[in-house]
Chain A
Amino acid sequence: MEAFDYLAPRSLSEALGALGNGKRSLMLAGGTDVIVQLRENRRHCDQLIDLKHIPELMSYRFAGDGSLEIGAAVPLAELYEDTQVQNKVPALVDCATIIGGIAIQSRASLGGNLCNASPAADSSPALMALGARLVIASNGGNREVAVEEFFSGPGQNTLQPGELLLTVKIPAPAANSGAFYHRFIPRNEMDIAVASSGVSITLDGSGNISAARVALGAVAATPLMVPAAATVLIGKPAGAEAFAEAGEAAGAAASPIDDMRGGVAQRRHLSKILTVRALEGALQRIPGSR
């Protein structure tokens, strides 16, 4: 591994100061991607900035309006072990419990998974379905971006020089709504998605879908929102017919590649099936719908 300096700032302003000192910087949260990438010469830096001593990055809380604000470096295990998170944001638990194995989840963070920007990352479609927004800090102040706007290509995000990902904000779920994330892998655990789907739906008083978000992973250069699938759902009764139509829309929106994990036709098919089943899972989570 090439040599680098290790910095462990104790505050956000100290971290942003280091980020602006002209050296090539990389951020260290859980390190489960970046340490391996540095070792394999896939990324390079003069200084590695450890974010784990910065309180804002290592804490999470439910705000007064019911939204969940998660510091970008909080380990996944801390999130999914929290019963309040389990009860209020089960779709987040869906993704957090399947990113790597337990030894990865002890360290890996949502911020790291997002910044690493793998098209197959598990957190991205789940957070897109949940309507999450990202707070990005820089010396010029904070800006917010919808999570689906954060990715620009495989391994590429839209952070500008001098910026770092500060928090992930998941809005309070609407009444009568449910969300669900899952993926297809050829083994039971510890694998990278061949394809994945995250969805959320909200029902009105008569059981019709009033809002929907459908996202896919591993079937395009970035995690993919499928507005066409949401459009066909809205106004229809939540059930097999509408879900099948949304599945077709998801399959049509997928633009996958052939690689060692799966083929184009397989991934299109999986996009359809996974979306239908994710919608069924989301419906199951709406109180009173079972």
Chain B
Amino acid sequence: MARTHVSTRLNGEDTDFLCEPRQSLLEVLRDEIGLTGAKEGCNNGNCGACAVHLDGRVVNSCCVLAVETAGREVTTIEGLAQGEALHPLQQCFLEEAALQCGICTPGFIMSSKALLDTEPNPDEHRIRFWLSGNLCRCTGYDKIVRAVQRAAGELQESK
């Protein structure tokens, strides 16, 4: 099968890759480009472990074809930290122990980032609504919600 040349912007850098039309963005990120932050959970759009941003909106990268990203902007969990400095959401997930095995964490953080980009000061109900497309099977959701609330506060203060 012929591979297609795709030019996109990935984590702020112009990026080129070759892929087959049938390959998902998740597959290409992980297997072709080597960015393994986005995780494969269900591979059918239910669990959110593969969440990334496409033109600023959170999407499940298992439900996006890599060829669709031509000329568009993709941000993955690898694009959040500034050098050695973690993004406040990453720092708060760590400090609030909002993870156990960590498989769901990149997806939760990308969904939370999209939420805070849209609604800087969400209440608990909004946080839970926005994160309903992300499943955690070990640590539970309370700590995740607390981490997002704290990160929201810190991001507000730093403005």
> Footprint of B on A, CB under 8 Å?
1-6, 8, 28, 30-32, 35-36, 38-40, 48, 50, 52, 75, 77, 100-104, 106-107, 188-190
CB distance A1 to B22 under 8 Å?
A: yes
- A254 CB to closest chain B CB (Å) equals 27
CB distance A106 to B58 under 8 Å?
A: yes
Q: Which of A4, A36, A190 contacts B44 (CB 8 A)?
A: A36
Q: Which of B4, B43, B60 contacts A103 (CB 8 A)?
A: B60
| Cβ < 8 Å to A, chain B residues 1-40 | 1, 4, 20-22, 24
- In the complex, 29 of the A-B residue pairs with CB atoms within 8 angstroms, ordered by the A residue number, are A3-B21, A4-B22, A5-B21, A8-B67, A8-B70, A28-B65, A31-B63, A31-B64, A32-B45, A35-B24, A36-B44, A39-B24, A48-B21, A48-B65, A52-B68, A77-B57, A101-B133, A102-B115, A102-B130, A102-B133, A103-B51, A103-B58, A104-B60, A104-B133, A107-B54, A188-B132, A189-B132, A189-B133, A190-B132
Q: Which of B22, B54, B128 contacts A38 (CB 8 A)?
A: B22
CB distance B65 to A35 under 8 Å?
A: yes
CB distance B22 to A3 under 8 Å?
A: yes
- B144 CB to closest chain A CB (Å) equals 15
B48 is an interface residue with CB less than 8 A from chain A: yes
B98 is an interface residue with CB less than 8 A from chain A: no
Q: How large is the interface on B (under 10, 10 to 19, 20 to 34, 35 or more residues)?
A: 20 to 34
Binding site secondary structure of chain A: loop
> Footprint of A on B, CB under 8 Å?
1, 4, 20-22, 24, 43-46, 48, 51, 54, 57-60, 62-65, 67-68, 70, 111, 114-115, 128-130, 132-134
The verdict on A104 contacting B45 (CB below 8 Å), with A6-B4, A6-B21, A189-B132 known, is: yes
The verdict on A39 contacting B43 (CB below 8 Å), with A6-B67, A103-B133, A189-B129 known, is: yes
- A17 CB to closest chain B CB (Å) equals 19
Alpha-carbon distance A50/B68, docked complex (angstroms): 8
Alpha-carbon distance A4/B4, docked complex (angstroms): 12
CB distance B48 to A103 under 8 Å?
A: yes
Alpha-carbon distance A1/B57, docked complex (angstroms): 26
Alpha-carbon distance A289/B22, docked complex (angstroms): 53
CB distance A102 to B45 under 8 Å?
A: no
Alpha-carbon distance A38/B24, docked complex (angstroms): 11
The residues of A that contact B134 with a CB separation of less than 8 Å are 101
Alpha-carbon distance A1/B43, docked complex (angstroms): 12
CB distance B133 to A2 under 8 Å?
A: no
The residues of B that contact A30 with a CB separation of less than 8 Å are 63
- A86 CB to closest chain B CB (Å) equals 15
The residues of A that contact B54 with a CB separation of less than 8 Å are 106-107
CB distance B114 to A102 under 8 Å?
A: yes
CB distance B45 to A2 under 8 Å?
A: no
The residues of B that contact A102 with a CB separation of less than 8 Å are 58, 111, 114-115, 130, 132-133
The residues of A that contact B67 with a CB separation of less than 8 Å are 6, 8
Interface centre among A2, A75, A106, A188 (most CB of B within 10 A): A106
The residues of B that contact A104 with a CB separation of less than 8 Å are 45, 60, 63, 133
CB distance A100 to B65 under 8 Å?
A: no
Beyond A6-B4, A36-B43, A107-B59, 13 extra complex contacts between A and B, CB < 8 Å: A35-B63, A35-B65, A38-B22, A101-B130, A101-B134, A102-B132, A103-B48, A106-B57, A106-B58, A107-B54, A189-B132, A190-B46, A190-B132
Minimal Cβ-Cβ distance residue in B for A191 = B132
Alpha-carbon distance A32/B46, docked complex (angstroms): 10
Q: 8 shortest A-B CB distances, which residue pairs?
A: A101-B133, A189-B132, A6-B21, A106-B57, A1-B22, A3-B1, A36-B44, A190-B132
The verdict on A101 contacting B48 (CB below 8 Å), with A31-B64, A77-B57 known, is: yes
